[in-house]
């Protein structure tokens, strides 16, 4: 698994809305800090996934999100992953 670096472009997964008016969407994001590997909540040990801070680019603006965990397969809201085909 590639280690992210500051300035790397990744995909952030938006949460969507509780009522389903808006679904989860991949948004372009730029890594602003790499906080290291995250902690696996099941074991309390260091995980394979990385914890990063992001500048997320949305169609109507941008926002900053700290401590986003990497999730390459499930793509849950609030996580990031490498753009498909770029790993």
% helix, strand, coil for the chain, step of 5: 0, 50, 50
CA angle 52, 66, 63 (to 5 degrees): 115
Per DSSP (E only), the strands in the chain are 9-13, 26-39, 46-58, 61-69, 80-81
pTM: 0.86
- Spatial separation of the C-alpha atoms in residues 21 and 40, rounded to whole Å: 32
Per-residue pLDDT in tens (0 to 9) along the chain, 87 residues: 689 999 999 999 999 888 888 889 999 999 999 998 877 777 878 888 999 999 999 989 999 999 999 999 888 999 999 998 765
């Amino acid at each position: 698994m590639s280690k992210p670096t500051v300035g790397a472009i990744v995909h952030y997964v938006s949460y969507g809305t509780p009522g389903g008016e808006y679904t989860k969407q991949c948004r372009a994001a730029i890594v602003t800090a790499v906080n290291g590997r995250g902690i696996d909540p099941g074991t309390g040990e260091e995980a394979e996934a990385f914890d990063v801070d992001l500048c997320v680019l949305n169609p109507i603006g941008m926002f900053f999100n700290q401590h986003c965990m990497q999730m390459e397969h499930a793509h849950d809201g609030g996580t990031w992953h490498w753009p498909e085909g770029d790993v």
